[in-house]
Amino acid sequence: MHPAFSVIFLTTLIGAAQGLFLALFTAQSYAAFKLLPQPDAHAFYGQGSLLALLLLVAGLVASFFHLGHPERAWRTATKWRTSWLSREVIVLPAFMGVVFLYGLAHWLDWHPVLMTLPGGLPVDPSAILGVAGTLLAFALFVCTAMIYACLKFLAEWHSPLTVVNYILLGGASGFTLAAAFAAATAPELVGFLAGWAAIITVLGLLSRGASLVRNARLKPKSTLQTAIGIKHPKIAQKTQGFMGGSFNTREFFHGQPVAVLRGVKWFFLLAVFPLPLLLLLSGMQGGIGLLVAAFVVQYAGLLAERWYFFAQANHPQNLYYQSIA
């Protein structure tokens, strides 16, 4: 497939935003149970939510560049019964709304006790919004990943590993960002967040590695024989019917030599996993520069990871476009 930068930015930006929100609410939950010190709610939860919201808006803006008719985007909410893309379009603004309200509740110090849990733990609106946001964040990960994983023709994507990768890689970048953000606003949480960022990064390496191994062993289901229905081991295309390009040759081929693909793969394998891990572990004591570098390196790596994700997918329609003349 031809990697589209609009979609690469959409999926990586909202992934980081979802991970960041999950990190914020994880920290709040731990703090509620007195497992972590209480940070400055204004700065950490309030501004942190604003940062997540900005990433989500940036992702949404990027997604519009993928559309031929962005002014009709509102129509995409109609087919949620069958289309994962439609579901994503519904869940994304819902998640943005909850992140906004969650940040607002912390920003305005709006903490009326709505009810008390059996252990005597007070529940305020931010806790309820946090739970709702957590559910929506995971729903959004599933929707985004299922857009790709549900396409059975694209064997490289058609796997539960796609969903696991989107959750873990988005989570890793979000927790890394949260650690860097905490270094500036809530230093007491840096160790906790950086630790979790490192753990999720390692899990992400396992699942992404598993999908790379899986994809390397794939055997295409369709062949030239089934594509044109002629049973002969030797079939060669002589012409695809035109000499200039067409949508079929532009949209489904990445057009890069194998060396570029391999280079991008090794770059993201380094930039998404070991380098941020090193930076996270060395920045655990609160080195803001190291933690910011960890996020920047990991995010750059994720851009390459997403590019590779698209480029590696081999569409069966390509069988019909092997030779110009």
Residues in contact with another protein by CB under 8 A are 1, 66-70, 72-73, 75-79, 82-86, 89, 147, 150-154, 221-222, 224, 226-230, 232, 234-248, 251-252, 315-318, 320-321
Residue 179 phi, psi dihedral angles, 5° rounding: -65, -45
Q: Counting Cβ atoms within 10 Å, is residue 74 exposed (0-12), middle (13-18) or buried (19+)? A: exposed
CB of 137 to another protein, least distance (A): 21
Residue 213 phi, psi dihedral angles, 5° rounding: -65, -45
Q: Counting Cβ atoms within 10 Å, is residue 97 exposed (0-12), middle (13-18) or buried (19+)? A: middle
How many residues does the structure list for the chain?
325
Of the pair 147, 189, the CB lying nearest another protein is at 147
CB of 166 to another protein, least distance (A): 17
Q: CA angle 164-156-217, nearest 5°?
A: 105
Of the pair 10, 277, the CB lying nearest another protein is at 10
CB of 89 to another protein, least distance (A): 6
Of the pair 116, 226, the CB lying nearest another protein is at 226
Of the pair 245, 274, the CB lying nearest another protein is at 245
CB of 153 to another protein, least distance (A): 4
CB of 221 to another protein, least distance (A): 5
Closest CA to 249 of 259, 257, 258, 241: 241
Question: Do the beta carbons of residue 274 and residue 280 sit within 8 Å?
Answer: no
Closest CA to 167 of 191, 134, 194: 134
Of the pair 28, 63, the CB lying nearest another protein is at 63
CB of 255 to another protein, least distance (A): 14
